[in-house]
Amino acid sequence: MTRAQQIGVVIGLAIVAAFTLLRASDPPLLRQLRDVTFDEYQRITPRTFETTPVRVIDIDEASLKEFGQWPWPRDRLALMVQRLSGMGAAAIAFDVLFAEADRLSPRSIMRDVGVDPSLLRQLPDNDETFAAAIAGHAVVLGFGLSTEGNYRPPIGAGFAFTGESPLNAPPRLNAATPIRPQLQINAAGLGHISLNPGNSSAVIRRIPLFLTDGEQLYPNLAIEALRVAQGASTYLIAGAPETKDTMTSVKIGDFVVPVTASGELWLYTSPDVVARYISAAKILAPDGVSPDVEAAIQGSIVFVGTSSAGLQDIRTTALGQNVPGVSMHAQTVEQILTGHFLSRPDWADGMEILSIAVLGTVLVVLTTFVSPAVALACGLFITALALVASWFAFSTWGLLFDPLAPIIAGSIIHFAATSFRILVIDRERREVRRAFGQYLSPSLLYRIEHTRNALRLGGDDRELTVMFVDVRGFTELSERLQPGEVVRFLNTLLDALSRHVTAHEGTLDKFIGDSIMAFWNAPVDVANHPAKAVHAALAMRETLARLNAEDAFGFGKDYQVGIGIGIHTGLACVGNMGAETRFNYSAVGDAVNVAARIESACKEVAFDILVSEETAGELPHFAILDAGAMGLKGKSSRARLYAVVGDKQVRRSKEFADMLHIHTKLVAALGSRSTDSRKILVSAKLTASALTATLQQFYARISRRADHFRDLPSTERDSAQAG
Burial class (CB in 10 A: 0-12, 13-18, 19+), 659: buried
What pLDDT was estimated at residue 693?
A: 67
Rounded mean pLDDT, 697-704: 83
> Which residues span the domain enclosing 165?
54-338
Averaged pLDDT of the chain: 84
In this structure, is residue 375 part of a structural domain?
Answer: yes
- What is the structure's pLDDT at 427? 54
The predicted pLDDT at position 113 comes to 59
Quote the pLDDT of residue 268: 92
pLDDT, position 721: 37
Global pTM reads 0.56
- Identify any residues that bridge with 399 across adjacent strands, giving them in sequence order: 343
pLDDT at 666: 86
User: pLDDT at residue 439 above 80?
Assistant: no
Q: How far apart are CA 415 and CA 422, in angstroms?
A: 10
Of 294, 314, 338, the position where a domain reaches its end is 338
pLDDT tens, position by position, 559-586: 889 999 999 999 999 877 776 656 677 8
Same domain, 656 and 668: yes
Cα atoms in the Cβ-side hemisphere of radius 13 Å centred on 124? 11
Residue 107 confidence class, pLDDT cut points 50, 70, 90: confident
Residue 444: the pLDDT is: 29
pLDDT tens digit string along 18-70? 888 988 888 888 888 888 889 899 999 999 888 899 999 999 999 999 998 88
Among the residue ranges 1-5, 220-224, 279-283, the one predicted with the least confidence is: 1-5
pLDDT at position 377: 83
Of 188 and 556, the structure prediction assigns the larger pLDDT to 188
Same domain, 227 and 249: yes
Residue 672 in any domain: the answer is: yes
pLDDT of residue 580: 61
Is the pLDDT confidence value at 461 over 50?
yes
Burial of 119 (0-12, 13-18, 19+ CB in 10 A): exposed
| pLDDT of 436 strictly over 70 | no
Closest of 77, 96, 92 to residue 136, by C-alpha: 92
With bands split at pLDDT 50, 70 and 90, how would you rate the model's confidence at 722? very low
- Report whether pLDDT(649) > 50: yes
Specify whether 516 is located in the same domain as 545.
yes
User: Which own/partner pairs from 429-433 qualify as long-range (CB within 8 Å, at least 24 positions apart)?
Assistant: 433/2, 433/4
Is 670 part of any domain? yes
Q: Is residue 7 part of a domain?
A: yes
Most confident of 99-108, 314-323, 463-472, 522-531: 463-472
Identify how many contiguous H helices and E strands the chain contains and give both numbers.
27, 25
- What one-letter code names the amino acid at 623? A
Higher pLDDT, 118 or 568: 568
Q: Does 430 or 589 have the greater pLDDT score? A: 589
Q: Which of 420, 453, 486 is the last residue of a domain?
A: 453
What integer pLDDT is reported at residue 709 of this predicted model?
85
- CB atoms closer than 10 angstroms to residue 197: 14
pLDDT tens digits for 510-519? Answer: 888 899 999 9
357, 321: one domain: no
Top mean pLDDT of 4-13, 83-92, 336-345, 665-674 is at 83-92
Average pLDDT over residues 133-155: 91
Per the structure, how many domains does the chain have?
3
456 or 195, greater pLDDT: 195
* Domain match, 431 and 474 both: no
Give me the CATH number covering residue 613. 3.30.70.1230
**Claim to verify: residue 554 and residue 589 sit in the same structural domain:** yes
Please give the full DSSP string across 463-513, using - where no structure is assigned: EEEEEEEEEETHHHHHHTS-HHHHHHHHHHHHHHHHHHHHHTT-EEEEEET
324 and 224 within one domain: yes
Percent of the chain with pLDDT over 70: 89
In this structure, is residue 298 part of a structural domain? yes
Residue 677 lies in a domain: yes
Q: Which of 338, 368, 385 is the last residue of a domain?
A: 338
Per-residue pLDDT, 454: 41
Q: What pLDDT was estimated at residue 244?
A: 84
Residue 293 sits at the vertex; the CA angle it makes with 290 and 299, to the nearest 5 degrees, is 135
pLDDT of residue 719: 42
For 278, the enclosing helix (H) or strand (E) is strand 277-279
Give the burial string for 564-593 (b: 16+ CB within 10 Å, else e): bbbbbbbebbbbeeeeebebebbbebebbb
Q: If residue 139 lies in a helix (H) or strand (E), which one and from where to where?
A: strand 139-143
Are 10 and 156 contained in the same domain?
A: no
Asked if residue 509 has pLDDT above 60, the reply is: yes
C-beta atoms surrounding 623 within 10 Å: 23
268 with 162, same domain?
A: yes
Instruction: Please indicate, yes or no, whether residues 190 and 243 belong to a single structural domain of this protein.
Output: yes
* Identity of residue 357: A
Cα dihedral 587, 589, 595, 600, rounded to 10, equals: 110
Query: What is the chain's percent helix, strand, coil content, to nearest 5?
Result: 50, 20, 30
Q: State the Cα–Cα distance between residues 238 and 227, nearest whole angstrom.
A: 17
- Is pLDDT of 442 > 50? no
Domain contains 49: no
Residue 124 — very low, low, confident or very high, per pLDDT cuts 50/70/90? confident
640 lies in some domain = yes
Q: pLDDT at residue 449 above 50?
A: no
Query: pLDDT at position 4, please?
Result: 64
Alpha helices in 135-220 (DSSP H): 181-186
What 8-state DSSP symbol labels residue 194? -
Give the pLDDT score at 586. 83
Q: Are residues 506 and 473 in the same domain?
A: yes
In this predicted model, what pLDDT tens digit does every residue of 147-200 receive, in sequence order?
888 899 999 899 999 888 889 999 999 999 999 999 999 999 999 999 888 777
Q: Work out the number of other CB atoms within 10 angstroms of the CB of residue 58.
A: 26
d(CA 283, CA 186): 22
pLDDT for 582: 61
Q: What is the dihedral of CA 212, 217, 220, 222, to 10 degrees?
A: 150
pLDDT band at residue 409 under the 50/70/90 scheme: confident
Question: 622, 628, 624, 625: which is closest to 640 by C-alpha?
Answer: 628
What pLDDT is attached to residue 723? 41
Residues 426 and 521 in one domain: no
Q: What is the pLDDT of residue 104?
A: 81
